[in-house]
Amino acid sequence: MKWIDIPPVWLALALVMTWQISVLQPLALRIGHPVLSLLGGLLVGAGLVLMLLAAMEMRKRKTTIIPHLEADALVTTGVFSRSRNPIYLGDVLILAGLALRWDAPVALLLVPLFMATLTQRFIVPEENRLRRKFRADFARYCEKTRRWL
């Protein structure tokens, strides 16, 4: 069952909820400004680029991208020098971007809930594994690099 408990599944669920909100929300709650659609598209694009750069960095260091598996290397370079979780940050940008793109501002309330879910289900357990395996190196990394941004 763990193969279902991965971040893309949670992102897909959040996106389905966002789409449903966009369909069901009253017209009075819509903003309907083209700038928001553009901003949403830019956020989605930024999220995808961030995820791609992070995946490339992890591949370069020959470590897993799958959250439940043991990391073979502590990746602190590239986009990981700015965020300890650039792939999760990319997920959040995609969710926020599509909420704007689909003109569903109410769905932006899902963003902090999604972040909390990612933190509890994936980030905290991953960080605990990294802390046990890489000890002082991980502690130094945490001191200089934020969890999200």
Residue 8 included in any domain: no
Residues 6+ apart with CB under 8 A from 9: none
Summarize the confidence of residues 97-119 as an average pLDDT: 97
For residue 28, the model assigns a pLDDT of: 73
What is the largest distance, in Å, between two alpha-carbon atoms of the chain? 53
Which structural domain range is residue 37 located in?
A: 33-144
Residue 28 included in any domain: no
Least reliable range by pLDDT among 24-28, 67-71, 141-145: 24-28
Residue 118 included in any domain: yes
What's the alpha-carbon Rg for the chain, to the nearest Å? 17
Summarize the confidence of residues 47-63 as an average pLDDT: 98
| pLDDT score of 45 more than 60 | yes
Residue 149 included in any domain: no
Distances (CA, A) of 31 to 18, 44, 45, 88, 93: 15, 19, 21, 27, 19
Residue 87 included in any domain: yes
Least reliable range by pLDDT among 22-26, 107-111, 130-134, 135-139: 22-26
